[in-house]
Chains A and B, each alone.
Chain A
């Protein structure tokens, strides 16, 4: 495996990982208002993707998503006694999703994705230039 191929493999693994991260952030946003059906049922708990370095074939240091863990932050509480999920005091537990945090995470994932894409473009251009030697 040439170094340029290795660069492509690393960038591709980065793009994959950022896509998963983006998906998890989208799931969090989608479930920002998912509450339980009754007071005993927990509302949606925010998920956090875990990224880690991994060695791909050819000794390339890539990245992968090891999995996702639940955010242990406390749930938001809202006073709404008529809600079926309200407790005795009239409070409903809402998911611990913070839109601002999710948006920031998405921005970061997009930025990293684009950087990986640029890297692929650069590696491709370098190979093309090298192949040009054959043409002239």
Chain B
């Protein structure tokens, strides 16, 4: 059995990938907190979906009753977004805001990991002989 392919684990793995990528972008923003002209980047999970919706939506054609609808989280997009303040040299990174985002991402990452662990526990429980 391929654990990674099980929907529950696959979803969490995608989520972890996404959060790791977001954390990386935040680290890059913080590193550039004093670079003139730097505008911070972030991951917008809904940007891709919005772009799709604006196009009237793209769906896979289901021509047979046996076809399945595609699942999984939509691909996130990297967006450039200035924080609340921009300094005179054009730097738009506000350290406080980035720190909050980093903490938020870390919490979400740990939540996803805890859920992953619960999934493994369930599997272990299922594989244990009854009564032991």
Contact surface of A with B, Cβ cutoff 8 Å: 2-4, 6-8, 10-11, 13-14, 17-18, 21, 51-53, 60-63, 108-109, 111-112, 115-116, 118-119, 122-123, 125-126, 129-130, 132-133, 136
A8–B35 CB distance below 8 A:
no
* 6 A-B contacts (beta carbon < 8 Å): A61-B31, A61-B41, A63-B35, A108-B34, A129-B110, A132-B117
B19-63 with Cβ < 8 A to chain A: 20-21, 23-24, 26-28, 30-36, 38, 41
In Å, the complex CA distance between A18 and B24 comes to 19
Q: Are B24 and A7 in contact (CB under 8 A)?
A: yes
Are A115 and B33 in contact (CB-based, < 8 A)?
Answer: yes
Contact with A along B1-26 (1 / 0, CB 8 A): 00000000000000011001101101
- Find out whether the CB atom of A53 lies under 8 angstroms from the CB atom of B106: no
Contact B28 A133 (CB under 8 A): no
Give 5 closest A-B pairs by Cβ, nearest first.
A14-B31, A7-B27, A3-B20, A3-B24, A10-B27
- CB-CB under 8 A for A112 and B34, given A8-B27, A123-B23: yes
Return chain B residues, CB-CB under 8 Å to A21. Answer: 34
B117 touches A62 (CB 8 A): no
Minimum CB–CB distance for A114 against chain B, Å: 9
Q: Which residues of A contact B35 (CB under 8 A)?
A: 51-53, 63
A-B contact count (CB 8 A): 105
Give me the interface of B with A, judged by CB distance under 8 Å: 16-17, 20-21, 23-24, 26-28, 30-36, 38, 41, 95, 98-99, 102-103, 106, 109-110, 113, 116-117, 120
The interface residues of chain A lying within 8 Å CB-to-CB of B117 are: 132-133, 136
Instruction: State A48–B14 Cα separation when bound (angstroms).
Output: 44
A10 touching B28, Cβ below 8 Å: yes
Are the C-beta atoms of A119 and B17 separated by less than 8 Å? Answer: no
**B113 and A13 form a contact (CB under 8 A):** no
A interface majority secondary structure = helix
Query: How far apart are the CA atoms of A53 and B34 in the complex, in Å?
Result: 10
Contacts A7-B27, A126-B23; is A118 near B102 (CB within 8 Å)? Answer: yes
Are the CB atoms of A111 and B120 closer together than 8 Å? Answer: no
Report the nearest A residue to B96, measured CB to CB.
A115
CA distance A10 to B27 in the complex (A): 6
A6 touching B109, Cβ below 8 Å:
no
Q: Find out whether the CB atom of A14 lies under 8 angstroms from the CB atom of B20.
A: no
Q: Which residues of A contact B21 (CB under 8 A)?
A: 3
